[in-house]
Amino acid sequence: MLHRRPYNETSLLVDLFTEESGRLTVLAKGARAKRSALKSLLQPFTPLLLRWTGKGDLKILTKAEAVSLALPLEHTALYSAFYINELVCRVIENETPYPQLFQDYLHCLTALAASQSTLTGQNTQAKSVEPFLRKFEFQLLQTLGYGVDFLHCAGSGLPVEPQMSYQYRAEQGFIASLLKNNQTFYGDELLIFASLAFDKLGAEQKHILQAAKRFTRMALKPYLGSQPLKSRELFQGILPGKMKG
């Protein structure tokens, strides 16, 4: 379940991300009633088996069954998972299958949950989620058809050099340049972008994660539009200055 909201007095409108049908919205009749079994099942980050009926945009949920317990997400990992949910809700087309992205989504949530079991201290945990968020953002861009060549200069076609600086040009790629501004990226950063090996970076390569975040913000902006992400606002309100989405 990605998101849910009240509908009439006792029901819910529920946004789902499914393996075979992609993102869709279902009406869960009576799910807000005190004795409804759906009330406890329709929770974020709980794997579900679902059935629904209907041919229009709004389906009717007929059955829900938990496959396992909800993923144990807390603190930074939990807010990061809400950020991932909001990205999926905002940018992918309704009722379009994205089986690979569904697997990427599950892997991201599982990695966020696992990060909590080996870490102590909120600040350390907050840093640990960065590689998983960045990787999912790049995978999401790939799913959307955002094809950028990180391995070659868009101007010359030559292979990217680790120490060379490049200017990012939307819908073109990266062009070798000596200019230094917000659209400047270095070759070592682009090579990691291509490999998605964000979880293999050492402490001295923190700048690569920062560059990846800067790139995905720019690349996702056309898909997200001008409306701010609510998950970022929520996180900033709870942990000022430590938003990791």
**pLDDT digits over 3-18, tens only?**
999 999 899 999 999 9
Average pLDDT of span 198-224: 92
Among 66, 93, 121, residue at a domain's last position: 66
Lowest-pLDDT range of 25-34, 123-132, 187-196, 214-223: 123-132
Q: Return d(Cα 200, Cα 191) in angstroms, integer.
A: 13
pLDDT band, residue 121 (cuts 50/70/90): very low
Residues 119 and 9 in one domain: no
- Find the domain containing 47 and state its range: 3-66
Phi first, then psi: what are they for 113, rounded to 5°?
-65, -40
45 and 93 in a common domain: no
Q: Decide: 67 and 85 in contact? Cβ < 8 Å.
A: no
Please enumerate in sequence order all residues whose Cβ is within 8 A of that of 198, keeping only pairs 6 or more positions apart, or say none.
130, 131, 132, 134, 135, 192, 208, 209, 212
Q: How far is CA 180 from CA 148, 162, 165, 186, in A?
A: 20, 16, 8, 10
16: in domain: yes
Residues 22 and 86 in one domain: no
Residue type, 237: G
Lowest mean pLDDT segment, chosen from 21-25, 67-71, 197-201, 233-237: 233-237
Amino acid of residue 74: E
User: How many domains in the chain?
Assistant: 2
Does residue 127 register a pLDDT over 60? no
Q: Is residue 157 part of a domain?
A: yes
Q: Are 81 and 115 in a shared domain?
A: yes
Across the range 60-74, mean pLDDT stands at 90
Enter the DSSP assignment of 94: B
